[in-house]
Amino acid sequence: MKTKAIIITLAYLCLLQAALLQPIAVKLPPADPVKASRAESKAPAPSSRQVPTVKSKTRREVPPRRENVRSGPRSSEPKPGTGAEKVAPASAKTASKGYRPPENISEKERHFIRTYLPYAMEVHHEFEVPVYLTLAQAILESGWGTSELARPPFNNFFGLKCPSSRACSCICIPLISKEEKDGEKHDQKSYFHAFPVGGVRASFLAYGNKLRTSARYAPLFDTLALHDYTGWAKEIQAAGYATDSAYAHLLIGIIERLDLHQFHRP
């Protein structure tokens, strides 16, 4: 009797366990198709994770800078008027005045002045040598451009000599020149600069550089007024530019006859 009751109890327990393990089917109400479509449109795709997209700001394109066609690309040089530019010497303004040659000079002399005045002006602006002195020495030393040393390919208008040791990068040529010593003139072989490259302009600039950088000519720039043409002529002879005892007299005669002192009036 007890055995039968135990069997019935076990069977009941087995049925209860089976019932508990059976999935429960829940009957849901029919879904609203409108709500379902809205929810589906908002739901993210199940296959991948969506990364929010940030809309970048539109960058305004800046047109390339136009360079000045006439002057080329902008340089690093300071602009005029800022105070940082190189100031030209005040004497340069007086030298730019118009020159009126005397009426009684020859066409050859007029042509020489017209041709080489720009070089003399450049020497003045670069080295502060008076225009009248540069022109007068070019005329005297080159014989109005006709001397052997002044003609191509030498183009030396100022009788510029090489150092005695000829230890320079310049081109030197041997020529016989007239030198004066103790009141007597004699021939002397000397080595002179030649300017086959750069021509006459190179000769003018070398002359200006020699006067401005040589210690023997420093007193001229330190003590003489720009319009004092007689002082410049005498002092350049005294400094040893030439051995001719009449050198200053000859320079002053050229300056006065051609009215070259017009370039630097007091």
Provide the pLDDT for residue 170. 77
Provide the pLDDT for residue 176. 74
- Residue 54 pLDDT > 50, yes or no? no
- Residue 266 pLDDT > 60, yes or no? yes
- Residue 84 pLDDT > 50, yes or no? no
Task: Please give the model's pTM, rounded to 2 decimal places.
Answer: 0.62
**pLDDT tens figures, 218-239:** 999 999 999 999 999 999 999 9
pLDDT category at 187 given cuts 50, 70, 90 is: confident
CA–CA separation, 136 vs 260, rounded Å? 8
Segment holding 175, helix H or strand E:
strand 171-181
- Is domain 102-153+198-263 in CATH 1.10.530.10, yes or no? yes
Which pairing describes strands 171-181 and 184-194: parallel, antiparallel, or unpaired? antiparallel
Provide the pLDDT for residue 209. 96
CA–CA separation, 43 vs 195, rounded Å? 91
Provide the pLDDT for residue 257. 96
Nearest Cα neighbor of 203 from 191, 213, 193, 216 is: 193
pLDDT category at 118 given cuts 50, 70, 90 is: very high
Provide the pLDDT for residue 11. 61
CA–CA separation, 181 vs 192, rounded Å? 19
**pLDDT tens figures, 127-165:** 999 999 999 999 999 999 999 999 999 999 999 998 765
Provide the pLDDT for residue 87. 38
Provide the pLDDT for residue 265. 81
CA–CA separation, 229 vs 211, rounded Å? 16
**What residue spans define the domains of the chain?**
102-153+198-263
Q: How remote is the C-alpha of 159 from its chain's centroid?
A: 32
In the predicted model, what is the mean pLDDT of residues 188-197? 88
Provide the pLDDT for residue 152. 93
Provide the pLDDT for residue 39. 47
Provide the pLDDT for residue 224. 96
pLDDT category at 175 given cuts 50, 70, 90 is: confident
CA distances from 83 to 61, 80, 128 (A): 36, 7, 21
